[in-house]
Amino acid sequence: MTRAWQRMLSGRRLDLLDPTPMDIEISDIAHGLSFVARWNGQTSGDWPYSVAEHSLLVEEILGRIDPQAGVPARLAALLHDAPEYVIGDMISPVKAAIGPDYTELDARLTAAIHIRFGLPAQLPAPLKKRIKQADKLSARMEAVQIAGFTETEASRYFGKAAEDITRGLSLKLRPPMETRQAFLARFSDLITALN
């Protein structure tokens, strides 16, 4: 029999084909995301740039794009790549090659994660669009600052720079445990405000 579940450090058993909110723990998400490298690890610096670090930046950028964004929107931004704690961060060309199977798996995990933390299973389209905008701005910063893209390449794939939004922001490359703690601290602030 093929196994479609993973044992998490929390002791939870997450079924990838049928994930339930009760099998989701923020400690597992933070731990996993802090060890998952963006850009398949093809970045400069002494530490990989993790999905957890990227998620913190996306949440901060969303707040700059939409200063009126409420706590649920900020939490959704922080958790926008949360499924990657178990399925990893696949670069866009790999996602395109895999096709709808990846999208469906990601959607199932996202829904379970959202429900677990008090968000709607599917986010409203306008919020998804703003989070995607923040995600692209983060990716553009990463592409130029640590992934070897030229400004021209970055503009072609991720859009033009938005200095008015990203001014003063910088990428952080730090040990996974520091990133995990920062992610958990921000999650704690948001979930406390939400409740």
Task: Tell me what percent of the residues of the chain surpass a pLDDT of 70.
Answer: 99
Number of helices (H) and strands (E) in the chain: give both, helices first: 10, 2
Single pTM value for the model: 0.94
**pLDDT value of residue 96:** 79
Query: What's the CA gap between 21 and 19, in Å, rounded?
Result: 7
Q: Can you name the residues that pair with 6 across neighbouring β-strands?
A: 14
Structural contact between residues 134 and 65, judged by C-beta atoms closer than 8 angstroms: yes
Query: What's the CA gap between 117 and 3, in Å, rounded?
Result: 27
Q: Can you name the residues that pair with 7 across neighbouring β-strands?
A: 13
**pLDDT value of residue 1:** 58
Label residue 17 by pLDDT band (50, 70, 90): confident
**pLDDT value of residue 119:** 97
What's the rounded mean pLDDT across residues 116-128? 97
**Both tokens of residue 81?**
């790549």
Residue 21 phi, psi (nearest 5): -55, -30
pLDDT tens digits for range 64-108 = 999 999 999 999 999 999 999 998 887 777 777 877 778 888 999
Query: What's the CA gap between 173 and 112, in Å, rounded?
Result: 29
